[in-house]
A and B are shown apart, each in its own frame.
Chain A
Amino acid sequence: MINIRLNAALGGALTGLLLLVVALGFVWMPYDPIAIDLAHPLDPPSSAHWFGTDEFGRDVLSRAMLGARISVAIALAVVVAAVGAGAFIGALAGLLRGWVDRVVMGLSDAILAFPGMLLALALIAVMGASRGSMVLALAIAYLPSVVRVVRGAVLSIREREFVEASLVAGDSRLYTLFSHILPNTLPPLVVLATSLFGWVVLSESALSFLGVGVPPPAPTWGNMLSAARPYMENGSWLSVVPGLCIAVTLLGINLLGDALRDRLDPRREA
């Protein structure tokens, strides 16, 4: 129990900090994150630039703040797309069963036969590297996990008495789906969406690090790390700051996800 509270408190605090930084970035940033200042390239951290400057004299703190906004926006877009489409498809498969279910499960098996990152890489290769194609690629790669969770939940919920009662009372199948079945799939879905958010932040930074994600000059934590590689010797802060941002974000999300899972699914960690 103590563990759950600690997870929830720490996870909530770190995630709150991330959202606060993103919100602050809309009203105030120390410097223009894209503005080049050739008089101050590779300045180490100081009172003027808390996290130093990069090879073009751009303020690393401001870039990390903008990077947080881009990462969170992409992760939110992917989670909303994957959860929205996945919940619909999964509910349809669980409700209609028969050939619809077989086709959906067959397709999701085929997608799951590829490691998630690789499928995203391949889709980006076909669509070209941009923010939009990355969101679409990651949403498709993570779609099957949502479909499976929702389908499983619907299959077990549809046999319950309150669903039968709703149908016997004359409610339409669509009404029953939206007002009785889908709300009951929410707890596992919330847990999954939280983990999904963390996975997407990690995948997005990895793709950007590899050079197939968000193209520069827009900063993301991943492409900042990639750009830092030639300056490891005399600009080590460039390699440290963006990675620390990713790690703190993931730690917060993971802890929050663990706490949610323990809370919403009492069977685990009994």
Chain B
Amino acid sequence: MIAYIAKRLLLTLPTLILVALVVFFLIRLIPGDPALVMLGDAGDAASLAALRQDLGLDRSLPVQFLVWLGYALRGDLGHSILTGEPVAAVIWDRFQLTALVVLVAVSLATLIAMAAGLLAAWKRDSALDLAVVGTAALVLAVPSFWLGLILLLVFGLKLGWLPVVGYVPFSESATEAVLFLVLPILTLVIIESGVLTRMMRSSAIDVLNLEYVTHARAKGVPERAVLWRHVLPNAFAPTLTLIGLILGHLLGGIAVIETVFTLPGLGRLMVDAILARDYPVLQGCLLFTAVIYMAVNLAVDLCYPFFDPRVTAQ
């Protein structure tokens, strides 16, 4: 077990370094003086010279990379060209909203997928199964931003139940904040439960065909206990990997959802940074997102042995 964890942690290190390299060189690919790129039009000659000195631009590229990495490791991602705020603080601020929406949505979607997938697998080829499979296929084909627009059209404009544009932070009014978050979360729940249900159903079907399930049924274990104790835990392991991928993906920014519902989240921050050519923010967002993505996948791999002890044996 400890060997497994240590090995998995060690494997992360080279990828982390590669990711840092990619983020660093991606921004350096932009034509022009990097200091000018990072300061935008706002910089005067003195601050430009200071930044050049700071970034080590007079030294070799590997040294420049190490200088940048050193700052990043200490949590200093530079300052936004547009607002002058420290990038790390802005990212953390925006990330909290994105994380809240994503975590609530993925938890709910997982519960729905577990119930629907297990039932569909249990009653395979029944009308219920067909309905579940059909709904999942339909949901998979719907782009999240379009579903969001349609929900907004129905619940916001036609019915007038929920607010349409804007956002009120929790610190100002918790009830209003919740009202603004209902539709984005609902959109994500619907979209993500489609993939998860399919995954859950197919792995539950695999498990239901295994001998230990036949054995449990043969010795008279009630069907409910067969499903709960034997099928669910074993079918959940592959789904967990998918949940990890989805979480990492969504935490990195649900830019389209945040655009539809005008939420100030991490994804919108990155898109706005691209449109405004605010490169320090873009670079920070990229690095942060990739690290979160890797961290989530690492966490899932580390949780995996609890569901499937066989993996540590390899």
Q: Is there an interface contact between A255 and B275, defined as CB atoms closer than 8 Å? A: no
Residue in A3, A124, A126, A210 with the greatest tally of chain B CB atoms within 10 Å: A210
Cα–Cα distance between A125 and B259 once the two chains are bound (Å): 18
Interface residues of B in 271-288 (CB under 8 A from A): 271, 273-275, 277, 282, 286
The answer to whether the Cβ of B142 comes within 8 Å of any Cβ in the partner chain is yes
Pairwise interchain contact A106-B14, C-beta atoms closer than 8 A: yes
| Chain A 127-152 interface mask (CB, 8 Å, partner B; 1/0) | 00000000000000000000000000
Decide: A113 near B19, CB < 8 A? Known: A118-B253, A210-B271. yes
* Contact B153–A110 (Cβ < 8 Å): no
Task: Return chain B residues, CB-CB under 8 Å to A109.
Answer: 15, 18
Known A202-B143, A247-B141; judge A122-B153 contact (CB<8 A).
no
- The answer to whether residues A110 and B293 also contact, given A122-B286, A247-B143 and a CB cut-off of 8 A, is no
Tell me which residues across on chain B come within 8 A of A209, comparing CB atoms: 145, 256, 259
Is A161 in contact with chain B by the CB < 8 A criterion?
no
Interface of chain B residues 185 through 211 with chain A (CB within 8 A): 202
User: Which of B22-30, B219-227, B233-241 is near enough to bind chain A?
Assistant: B22-30
CA distance A239 to B151 in the complex (A): 11
CB of B282 within 8 A of CB of A210, answer no
> Roughly how many angstroms separate A3 CA and B132 CA in the complex, as a whole number?
13
- Contact partners of A239 in chain B: CB under 8 A: 146, 149-150, 153
Chain B residues with Cβ below 8 Å from A236 are 153, 157
Cβ-defined contact, A124 with B274, below 8 A: yes
Chain B residue total in the interface (Cβ 8 A):
45
B290, A113: Cβ atoms under 8 Å? yes
Whether A159 is near chain B, meaning CB under 8 Å from some CB there, is no
Q: Give the residues from 78 to 136 in chain A that come closer than 8 angstroms, CB to CB, to chain B.
A: 106-107, 109-111, 113-115, 117-118, 121-126
Contacts of B256 in A (CB 8 A): 206, 209-210
Q: Report the Cα distance A107→B21, complex, angstroms.
A: 11
Contacting residues of chain B (235-280) with chain A, CB-CB under 8 angstroms: 248-249, 252-253, 255-256, 259-260, 270-271, 273-275, 277
Contact A211 B275 (CB under 8 A): yes
Give chain B residues whose Cβ lies under 8 Å from the Cβ of A246: 143, 146
CB-based nearest A residue for B147: A243
Chain B 1-40 interface 0/1 with A at a Cβ cutoff of 8 Å (1 = within) = 0000000000000110011011000110110000000000
Q: Does B102 contact A (CB under 8 A)?
A: no
Closest to A234 in B: B157
Within the complex, the shortest CB–CB distance from B136 to chain A, in Å, comes to 10
Interface residues of A (CB under 8 A from B): 3, 106-107, 109-111, 113-115, 117-118, 121-126, 202, 205-206, 209-212, 225, 228-229, 232-233, 236, 239-240, 242-243, 246-248, 250-251, 254-255, 258, 269
Residue pairs across A and B with Cβ atoms less than 8 A apart, 18 shown, are A115-B248, A115-B252, A117-B249, A123-B26, A126-B30, A202-B143, A209-B145, A212-B271, A229-B149, A232-B157, A233-B157, A236-B153, A239-B146, A239-B150, A239-B153, A246-B146, A247-B142, A250-B142
